[in-house]
């Protein structure tokens, strides 16, 4: 009987982390930052149907990078978790912290298990609060760690350099126009110091959690003309709710 090769736990975990990190680094980044009225999500995404940013619940949104089928599966699981909890208890009892905890347990358990490939995804769960002080943004890494971020976070390839650029320019209380512009500028930068790329509305996926929205559900995608006007610095585009057919009025229950 031969003795099996010994691999130290530290080495095994490092190998798995490196594996997951490579999967994530291949993807384009997602930028999440706070502005005066809520939280804005900006991602580079040319697909009109495969989203990186999605609604989870009234005040909670989800953003992810990495392997699509893995984070899509987690997104659907999150929607089911939130809807079940809101139905069993009350809509006010669904929180981003609870959802982040569920994701952390799921990611961490898989990461620690020898028999399964780790998730190649990095997640953001954000909740808009009654005031800016109550906004919450959680970043979850493949090993199940949860980081409670303040003001802004970047995940995906080149996250570090984009984050540095963003950190220098983010300001508390920015307008939506300013926030979107800063986010797009940071995504467009070449990490190797070359000239920045020009990103068009067709290449961007933008969504907001807007606490000023009168509907109970605060998530809204910014599409087409409205996005174009925001990128042109048109302040009046912020209030445009016309191209949002999926908006839902407050529940009368």
Judged by the rule CB under 8 A, the positions of this chain that interact with other proteins are 9, 12, 49, 51, 54-56, 73-74, 76-77, 79-81, 83-84, 86-88, 101-102, 105-106, 109-110, 112-114, 217, 245-249, 251-253
Complex with other proteins: residue 31 or 60, whichever CB lies closer: 60
Which position has the token pair 């994701």? 103
Complex with other proteins: residue 185 or 244, whichever CB lies closer: 244
Helix (H) or strand (E) holding 155: strand 152-155
List of residues 6+ apart from 180 with CB closer than 8 A: 40, 42, 206, 222, 230, 231
Is there a contact between 237 and 226 (Cβ–Cβ < 8 Å)? yes
In a 10 Å sphere around its CB, with 0-12 CB exposed, 13-18 middle and 19+ buried, how is residue 224 labelled? exposed
Q: Minimum CB separation from other proteins for residue 103, in Å?
A: 8
Q: Minimum CB separation from other proteins for residue 161, in Å?
A: 31
Q: How far apart are alpha carbons 209 and 226 in whole angstroms?
A: 16
Complex with other proteins: residue 99 or 153, whichever CB lies closer: 99
Tokens encoding 98: 């609870």
Q: Minimum CB separation from other proteins for residue 106, in Å?
A: 5
Q: Minimum CB separation from other proteins for residue 134, in Å?
A: 23
Complex with other proteins: residue 51 or 170, whichever CB lies closer: 51
Q: Minimum CB separation from other proteins for residue 11, in Å?
A: 11
């Amino acid at each position: 009987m031969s003795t099996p090769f010994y691999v130290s736990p530290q080495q095994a975990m490092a190998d798995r982390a490196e594996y997951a990190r490579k999967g994530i680094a291949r993807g384009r980044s997602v930028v999440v930052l706070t502005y005066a009225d809520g939280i804005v999500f900006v991602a580079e995404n040319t697909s009109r149907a495969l989203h990186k940013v999605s609604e989870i619940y009234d005040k909670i949104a989800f953003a992810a990078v990495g392997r699509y089928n893995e984070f899509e599966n987690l997104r659907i699981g999150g929607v089911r978790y939130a809807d079940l909890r809101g139905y069993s208890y009350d809509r006010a009892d669904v929180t981003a912290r609870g959802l982040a905890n569920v994701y952390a347990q799921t990611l961490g358990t898989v990461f620690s298990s020898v028999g399964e490939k780790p998730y190649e995804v990095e997640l953001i769960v954000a909740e808009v609060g009654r005031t800016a002080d109550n906004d919450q943004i959680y970043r979850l890494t493949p090993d199940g760690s949860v980081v409670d971020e303040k003001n802004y976070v970047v995940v995906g390839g080149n996250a570090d350099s984009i984050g540095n650029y963003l950190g220098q320019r983010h300001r508390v209380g920015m307008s939506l126009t300013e926030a979107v512009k800063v986010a797009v500028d940071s995504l467009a930068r070449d990490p190797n110091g070359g000239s920045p790329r020009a990103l068009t509305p067709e290449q961007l996926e933008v969504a907001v959690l807007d606490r000023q929205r009168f509907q109970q559900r605060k998530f809204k995608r910014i599409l087409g003309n409205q996005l174009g006007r925001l990128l042109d610095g048109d302040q009046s585009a912020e209030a445009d709710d016309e191209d949002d057919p999926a908006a839902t009025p407050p529940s009368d229950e």
